[in-house]
Amino acid sequence: MSAEAPSPSTPEATAEPHHFRRILTIWIAVSVVGDLLFAIFVGPHVPPGRMSDTATSDSVDFTILFLVALPVLVGVWVYMGYAIVMWRASRPGVPEPVGGPRARGNLRVQIAWIASTTVVVLALFVFGTVELYVTNGSGGGEGPNPIWTPTSATILPVQVIAQQWRFTFRYPTFGGFETPDLILPVNTTVEFHVTSLDVIHDFWAYQIGVKADANPGSDNIAYTTTKQLGTFTVRCDELCGLWHGAMYDFGRVVSKSSFEQWAARTEIQLAALTKTLPPFALTYTPDANGADGGFYPDTNDPYSNVETYGATQPSS
Amino acid sequence: MSVETQAIIDSPPTGRMRATHGFLSPNAVWALVGGAAGYAIGHLCGDIIAGSQTVVQDNGQNNVAVVLGLAFGVLGWLAGAGMLNYPAAKLVGREPLPQLPSDNWTRYFRPTLDHKVVGLQYTVVVLLFFFTGGVLAMGIRTELLSPTSHVFGPGQYIAMVGEHGTIMMMMASSIVVGPLGNWLVPLMIGSRKMAFPRVEAFSLWIFTAGYFVILAAIPMGGFPTGWTGYAPLQTQATVGMDAYLVGFAVIGIGMIAAGFNLAATIINFRAPGMTWGRVPIFVWSILATAALLVLATPTLVVAGLFGVLDRTAQTAFYVNEHGGSSFLWQNLFWFFGHPEVYIMALPGFGIVGEILPVFTRKPLFAYRVGAAGMIGVALLSFFVWQHHLFQSGINPDMRPLFMLTTELISIPTGFIFLVGLGTLWKAKIRFEVPMLFAMGMYFNFLIGGVTGVFLSDVPVNVTVHGSFFVMAHFHYTIMGGLIFAFFAGLYFWLPKMSGKTMNRKLGQWHFWCMFLFFNLTFFPLFLVGLLGQPRRVFEYASNLQTLNDISSVGAFLLGASFLIFIANFIWSIFIDPKPASANPWDSLGLEWQTPTPVPPHNFDRIPVVLTDPYHYSEPGAPAVADLGVGSIATVATSTPQDAAITEVADPDPGGLPA
């Protein structure tokens, strides 16, 4: 939607002010001022912040989209406001037999409108695609076969296992221990493998700009590179049943040395526990009391006695 | 071409005269009795069939009995409403009993072949739907007053969220098509009836049955999935889920029936001279909506059937471990669900397109572009559904494609704004109540549309997907767009529909309260979502409490603003009725050229349409149609105004001078 106003195709009556020029002036002025104010004062603080490269680019993209959207909003509002003030019937409530110009269309206005909206829309599409594939993959879930992959030499894989109503995390490069704490090293590219043991959840690590659905039996990969130390919230973002509203957690981005210490320590602490876990895999198929909540009873279930852990081996 | 197809309806019955209007003939009471009896019978059958199964005994929940109960209940409801009499009589080779026209108040509680009575019945039912959903919404906002303290338990909360969403979606899919579509389309195209009056009545009664089915989920404990019903949570849920699946399928059947009927009527029952270039813009919007109803809704019905089979017959359409896929539901649901949201937008565009010319006293600007925009939106809406799955782990190659199609849809939507803004150009705007609502619709829908572009952009979608931002976005399009347009239409056409004048002062109060409190409710939610609050949660970060509280207070006030409407409705129509004139807004539309109240057969003679209904501000404006009642109908008086102004040539210069 562009904000062009239909221009008069004919000379105005002499007393009539040049409405189109007036609207255009107000529109440009308000848009420029609004965009400048937003870019200067709001832009640097647009959520989700600057804790990772994907968070930064998501927030920059939001800012750019807003800078494009504001003139569109302002254009229609200015036009409508102008119409409401200037073009109201003189006697409110009393029907007037005479209306405005009989214009049923204006070819130039129609072509200009369609062309400008098309240009804006296509530009937004190109911009979005470039941002998605060229810069940093945006942090969204890319499924088991991601198209955008990071170029960093070292990548920390972290598995996110969602189940009703808790997230747990496995660190395959540290013996595959499983912990309720999500600790990440700073300035490191992280490869999240998001999966679920029961219903569909969504792993939303808000401040580090990652969001990926956790599907049962499916590996959903998302990348981000941490940039700042701090705490971030993890929330389930897909309705997953009774306690969905309370399925949240906090993760931390710490220095690389602290992370190494924590991971080595935790690996030793949890070693006995890790042995009882199924071996690390990209997806896990729990027994019949998992995803279907016991709906398919064991006696009828051809798969109920089959251990299907580790159907897919992780890539190193 | 349409003269021959205009059947004479309600011809005096001859022969057997048993179709009386006593209490024993089909009516709403018998429908309720039939529904209750059907539920009991179905539930009993289910107990017999599945009562001994291990799964039933283990879980203590018999889904088979509940599904059969609800299905038989709907059948019983339809039988009580007399919907089965005609096909049953035809099946056994007997002549169906004639259906007598009725003129007392009981006709509003009976099946009827009069599209105007069906329209009014629909109006009451959708308002019932709407206010039920609204009460649930206020329950949700009550819970969200505090980040951690709770008013409701998590089960109650999640049930309210699901019920609110589902009821509102069901309501919004029919809120214009049902009441105004059925009431207005035949009048606007110069027909005496709908193409299939029995199908029309059927769509109303099955829609009403859907209301009871979805309400039945509440005593069953609700369903935990929200209105999207994602599997495998759906498979895991208790019996309330059956009510969701059956209810949506039932509503879907009603939507398909209504869509077919409207499409058939618009295509075949236009009066002579009602060429496609003269069809009112509202009829175009209903035609585009009807196409969506007919083509998209079957997917929902089938997806619901799969879900029911998963839950009763232990098939595994949506269960991963058994060869099904949870992605299947997401795809099927949104393949319906996205056209569905345009089912909820297009009729609103049509309504404001009818209202703007009347209150600006100008022809509709770029009529053809507007009609093309509606068809474009309808076509494109089938190609955007995977934008709901951007973060779900679909093939990542699909994301740019669906980003493109989603953003393309803003081009034809922009046409609608071109029509609106062009019509306002140098107008003489009368701010009557319908016009206020129409302007409010443009204001709100603009915000809803622009935020939709944010959502379509995949990188931004990472932040806002599934958050309150989405929630605010679609409330701005559906509530701010469609519902505002619906009330615009209701205030505009109620004088014709009811024959009574609505109170203007109360109408203005209703608009300003609704407009301000709507924005007070939903605008903060954009920020709430952007700041990290997911949808459908009952606990949130404590720094978001202020924004949530503003929204909650807005929601309560918004709810209260509808009391003004209800008061106005009851006062103006029942307590202190003031008869409305036949054409209180000086509209040129064909529907306004009929007497008020509109006779059961609409037109004494089938009108011959002479031109389109947008010849405002023209010297000696031509009449829209020859009604064949002595002289060509005279329309709103127009006098020459500004002779210096020339305009693009009349696209349809066939009109006769008055």
pLDDT tens by residue, B421-434: 999 988 888 889 99
Cross-chain Cβ contact A103/B539 below 8 Å: no
Q: Residue B345: which of B167, B516, B466, B473 has the closest Cα?
A: B473
With tokens 């912040």, the residue in question is: A49
Are the beta carbons of A195 and A161 closer than 8 angstroms? yes
Q: Per-residue pLDDT for A13 more than 80?
A: no
Determine the pLDDT at residue A7: 44
Q: Residue B13: which of B79, B99, B75 has the closest Cα?
A: B99
Portion 607-626 of B in contact with A at CB < 8 A: 614, 616-618
With tokens 């924590």, the residue in question is: A262
**Closest residue, chain A, to B612 (C-alpha):** A104
Using DSSP bridges, classify how beta strands A220-225 and B608-609 pair: parallel, antiparallel or unpaired.
unpaired
Q: Does B460 touch chain A (CB under 8 A)?
A: yes
Cross-chain Cβ contact A83/B427 below 8 Å: yes
**C-beta atoms surrounding B575 within 10 Å:** 8
Q: What is the DSSP string of A87-131?
A: SB-SSTTSPPS--S------HHHHHHHHHHHHHHHHHHHHHHHHI
Q: Is residue B522 part of a domain?
A: no
Torsion of CA B384, B388, B394, B399, to 10 degrees: 50
Cross-chain Cβ contact B429/A237 below 8 Å: no
Residues of chain B with pLDDT under 50: 1-19, 631-658
Calculate mean pLDDT across residues A6-16. 48
Task: Choose from A61, A63, A102, A301 for mutation: most chain B CBs within 10 A.
Answer: A102
Are the beta carbons of B459 and B415 closer than 8 angstroms? no
Q: Residue A159: which of A108, A111, A109, A197 has the closest Cα?
A: A197
Q: How confident is residue A92, by pLDDT bands cut at 50, 70 and 90?
A: low
Cross-chain Cβ contact A199/B154 below 8 Å: no
Are the beta carbons of B296 and B383 closer than 8 angstroms? no
Determine the pLDDT at residue A5: 45
**Distance set, CA B548 to CA A101, B332, B494 (Å):** 46, 33, 36
Determine the pLDDT at residue A287: 57
With tokens 């175009």, the residue in question is: B284
Helices (H), B81-114: 85-91
Q: Does B218 touch chain A (CB under 8 A)?
A: no
Are the beta carbons of B302 and B333 closer than 8 angstroms? no
Q: In 3-state terms, what secondary structure has residue A286?
A: coil
What is the complex's ipTM, to 2 decimals? 0.87
**Closest residue, chain A, to B230 (C-alpha):** A200
Residues of chain A neighbouring B637 (CB-CB closer than 8 A): 97
CA distance B292 to B297: 8
Portion 233-272 of B in contact with A at CB < 8 A: 233, 235-237
State the residue range of the domain holding B295: 1-13+108-344
Cross-chain Cβ contact B154/A54 below 8 Å: no
Using DSSP bridges, classify how beta strands A248-254 and A182-185 pair: parallel, antiparallel or unpaired.
parallel
Determine the pLDDT at residue A47: 87
Determine the pLDDT at residue B99: 66
Q: Residue B490: which of B587, B352, B285 has the closest Cα?
A: B352
Q: Is residue B491 part of a domain?
A: no
Q: Residue B330: which of B338, B289, A292 has the closest Cα?
A: B338
Q: What is the DSSP string of B570-602?
A: HIIIIIS--BPPS-TT----GGGGS-SSPPTTS
Portion 153-192 of A in contact with B at CB < 8 A: none
**C-beta atoms surrounding A21 within 10 Å:** 11
Cross-chain Cβ contact A145/B232 below 8 Å: no
Token pair, residue B319, equals 């269960």
Cross-chain Cβ contact B427/A213 below 8 Å: no
Nearest to A83 among B394, B413, B424 (CB): B424
Nearest to B235 among A125, A127, A292 (CB): A292
Each residue's pLDDT tens digit, A220-267:
999 999 999 999 999 999 999 899 988 999 999 999 999 999 999 999
Each residue's pLDDT tens digit, B205-231:
999 999 999 999 999 989 999 999 998
Determine the pLDDT at residue B10: 44
Q: Is residue B307 part of a domain?
A: yes
For chain A, domain boundaries: 19-87+109-135, 155-285
Cross-chain Cβ contact B457/A128 below 8 Å: yes
Are the beta carbons of B190 and B263 closer than 8 angstroms? no
Nearest to B428 among A61, A99, A204 (CB): A99
CA distance B213 to B216: 5
Are the beta carbons of A139 and A224 closer than 8 angstroms? yes
Q: What is the DSSP string of B35-83?
A: HHHHHHHHHHHHHHHHTT-HHHHHHS--HHHHHHHHHHHHHHHHHHTTT
CA distance B293 to A233: 41
Residues of chain A neighbouring B428 (CB-CB closer than 8 A): 87-90, 96, 98-100
Are the beta carbons of B64 and B245 closer than 8 angstroms? no
Share of chain A above pLDDT 70, in %: 82
Q: What are A166's strand-pairing partners?
A: A163
Q: What are A196's strand-pairing partners?
A: A162, A216
Are the beta carbons of A214 and A162 closer than 8 angstroms? yes
Q: Which helix (H) or strand (E) holds A239?
A: none
Are the beta carbons of B377 and B408 closer than 8 angstroms? no
Identity at A120, one-letter amino acid code: V
Residues of chain B neighbouring A108 (CB-CB closer than 8 A): none
Measured between CA atoms, how close is B358 to chain A, in angstroms? 10
Determine the pLDDT at residue B282: 95
Nearest to B454 among A65, A202, A292 (CB): A65
Q: How confident is residue A100, by pLDDT bands cut at 50, 70 and 90?
A: low
Q: What is the CATH number of the domain that holds B289?
A: 1.20.210.10
A–B interface: beta-carbon pairs under 8 A = 392
Residues of chain A neighbouring B58 (CB-CB closer than 8 A): 294, 297
Each residue's pLDDT tens digit, A111-169:
999 999 999 999 999 999 988 888 788 888 998 888 888 888 889 999 999 988 899 99
**C-beta atoms surrounding A257 within 10 Å:** 9
| pTM reported for the whole predicted model | 0.89
Identity at B612, one-letter amino acid code: D
CA distance A117 to B130: 35
Determine the pLDDT at residue A94: 55
- CA B598 to chain centroid, in Å, comes to 24
Q: Does A34 touch chain B (CB under 8 A)?
A: no
Task: Choose from B462, B473, B535, B639 for mutation: most chain A CBs within 10 A.
Answer: B462
Are the beta carbons of A54 and A135 closer than 8 angstroms? no
Last residue in a domain, options B303, B321, B344: B344
Determine the pLDDT at residue A136: 80
**C-beta atoms surrounding B107 within 10 Å:** 18
Q: Tell me the CA end-to-end span of chain A in Å, nearest whole number.
A: 48
Q: Per-residue pLDDT for A300 more than 70?
A: no
Q: Does A15 touch chain B (CB under 8 A)?
A: no
**Closest residue, chain B, to A236 (C-alpha):** B534
CA distance B265 to B590: 16
Nearest to B648 among A90, A106, A210 (CB): A106
Q: Does A215 touch chain B (CB under 8 A)?
A: yes
Q: What are A211's strand-pairing partners?
A: A140, A204
Q: How confident is residue A289, by pLDDT bands cut at 50, 70 and 90?
A: very low
Q: In 3-state terms, what secondary structure has residue B101?
A: coil
φ/ψ of residue A210, rounded to 5: -125, 135
Number of domains comprising chain B: 2
Q: Does B309 touch chain A (CB under 8 A)?
A: no
Q: Is residue B211 part of a domain?
A: yes
Q: Is residue B398 part of a domain?
A: no
Identity at A145, one-letter amino acid code: N
Last residue in a domain, options B317, B344, B371: B344
Q: Is residue B620 part of a domain?
A: yes
Task: Choose from B225, B227, B233, B331 for mutation: most chain A CBs within 10 A.
Answer: B233
CA distance B292 to B287: 9
**Distance set, CA B499 to CA B108, B128, B502 (Å):** 16, 22, 10
Are the beta carbons of A154 and A191 closer than 8 angstroms? no
Determine the pLDDT at residue A132: 86
Are the beta carbons of B377 and B413 closer than 8 angstroms? yes
Sign of CA dihedral A273, A279, A284, A288: negative
Cross-chain Cβ contact A212/B404 below 8 Å: no
Last residue in a domain, options B289, B317, B344: B344
According to CATH, the topology of domain A155-285 is: Immunoglobulin-like (2.60.40)
